[in-house]
Amino acid sequence: MAPRSDLFRPLVAQDPANPLFRFSLGQELLKEGAAAEAIEHLQLATASKADWMMPRILLGKAHLALGDRAAARNAFDDALRLAVAQGHEEPEEELRALLATL
């Protein structure tokens, strides 16, 4: 069975500026253990919308998987700010727990 990231690679190739395609590809790459490759896609998704929390959470997790605790903290801090502002309680709890490990 092909990795799910293969579903999104052609979409990104057709429309590389599309933040939803980039987010989806980054998400699948992270699930597949390809954190280094996921970062580029998650960064683009993060930069596309100032109030989009999820790519920031995944970006932090990708950095954490690669051992870059400072970059992970920055991404998690940004995501936490958005979770609080938007009233997302479960992500807020998850982010506080993740930040407590850094």
DSSP assignment of 17-66: T-HHHHHHHHHHHHHTT-HHHHHHHHHHHHHH-TT-HHHHHHHHHHHHHT
How much is the pLDDT for 1? 74
Residue 56 · residue 94 · CB < 8 Å: no
Q: How confident is the model at residue 2 (pLDDT cuts 50, 70, 90)?
A: confident
State pLDDT tens for residues 3-47: 899 999 999 999 999 999 999 999 999 999 999 999 999 999 999
Query: What is the pTM assigned to this prediction?
Result: 0.94
Domains of the chain: 5-100 (1.25.40.10)
Kindly report the average pLDDT of the chain as a whole number.
96
